Amino acid sequence: MEQSQVKAVPPARIRYRLTPLQCALSMLPGIIIVASQVLFRLDGGPSGLYLLSELLVWCVLPIASRLFGVTLTPSAALVHNLRRRTIPWSSVQAIQIESLFGSRTVVIYEAGGRRTRLRAPITAPLNWDRSFEEKFHTIGRWWLDHRGPDWVPVPPPGAWWSGPPVSKANPYAPPA
């Protein structure tokens, strides 16, 4: 019996969003605030339509944050935030992990000096993502595979003061 071996075809797109646990944990403070406001109003506090607005702000927005993230395509990274941005792979200079207030996020550095912090993937002590490192390496590998043969590193913008001497190495290269 002869077996046919099918070549593994890489996906045309990869989408990263917040994990369901991260979305649920982001709703927890809102649920506590809304519950305390309901108890306050039942106890004789001022009433009104404030509860509806609080419910929208604290419960609907975290659900909508599930839409945030990044989509990797062969030509660009589509960053889904409040506005969708398209970052062509040919203009990306580096992809690194940065820490901010205990959370670790993926940051895309562009040739023009702009840096874009992705909302997903993200990991933090209370918002843990087990596959964060794997997602970071997938984004980096996707960039390396799709940036094109004409890609060249762009030197970083110069400082307006006479700073330390600039080395000949690629400034956007990940640390060794």
Q: What is the pLDDT of residues 124-151, one digit of tens each?
A: 887 778 888 999 999 999 888 888 887 7
The pLDDT of residue 6 is: 54
Report yes or no: 113 and 157 within 8 Å, Cβ to Cβ. yes
Q: What is the pLDDT of residues 110-126, one digit of tens each?
A: 888 888 998 888 888 87
DSSP state of 91: G
Residues 6+ apart with CB under 8 A from 94: 108, 109, 172, 173, 174
pTM assigned to the model = 0.68
From CA 171, how far away is CA 113, in angstroms rounded? 12
From CA 118, how far away is CA 45, in angstroms rounded? 41
- Here the tokens at position 93 are 């200079």
Residue of higher predicted confidence among 170 and 95: 95
